Amino acid sequence: MGLRDVLFGRKKLKDPARERLFAISTARITLETELDLKPAGAAGVCFKSLSAGEFVRAENELQELLDAVANQSGSKVERHSDELGFEWLVVRDGDFEDLVATVHLIATELQDHGFGPQLLAALFPFGGKFKEGRVYWIYGFKRGTFWPFVPTGKEQERDNAEELELKAKLEQELPIEQDLTRWFGLFDAPV
């Protein structure tokens, strides 16, 4: 921020650095070799559903966008709504790098179409051979950071100990959200 911005009170918000999303592609190797966690072959992009007025325009654009993404990347994309009133685009792709690229593409397209503020998070599930249930990495688009999310399966309970361990293990590779009070979960996601 320059002096003039300070003087005139123009606070620039940091660009969320979309490229940080790709850090998960490399982190995946550590997850797999050291923690026995494999990507589940799917990922979800969660965004707030739109008000009725915007709905018709958005609906068309969204469909176009999904078709375009499907053509470009070869990943399968489905749409879901959840009971909390949020929309999900669930991407399925066996190749993890393609999966991440598709998620990035969707996020970029949504932002370019003016849905940026509605964009909430991307969710990457991982699973292990010796592990029941799943481990998730959530990517918050607003701050461009990742945080771990390990639901225990019992209501809204999560395994904080394992989450902190994941943080410690991947600190070097992922831009992890340092403010732990922002580590909100995404329970019962359709991914």
Residues that bind other proteins (CB under 8 A): 46, 48, 82, 84-86, 120-121, 138, 140, 156, 158, 160-161, 163-164, 180-187
In degrees rounded to 5, what are phi and psi of residue 176? -85, 135
Instruction: CB nearer to other proteins: give 70 or 164.
Output: 164
Question: What is the closest distance, in whole angstroms, from the C-beta atom of residue 67 to other proteins in the complex?
Answer: 27
Instruction: CB nearer to other proteins: give 109 or 163.
Output: 163
d(CA 91, CA 70): 9
Question: What is the closest distance, in whole angstroms, from the C-beta atom of residue 162 to other proteins in the complex?
Answer: 11
Instruction: CB nearer to other proteins: give 38 or 143.
Output: 143
Residue 128 backbone class (left: φ over 0; alpha: ψ -120 to 50; beta: rest): beta
Q: What is the four-CA torsion angle of 157, 85, 119, 77, rounded to 10 degrees?
A: 90
Bridge partners, 46 (sequence order): 88, 121
Question: What is the closest distance, in whole angstroms, from the C-beta atom of residue 172 to other proteins in the complex?
Answer: 19
Question: What is the closest distance, in whole angstroms, from the C-beta atom of residue 16 to other proteins in the complex?
Answer: 15
Residues 6+ apart with CB under 8 A from 186: 46, 121, 123, 136, 138, 149
Instruction: CB nearer to other proteins: give 58 or 101.
Output: 58
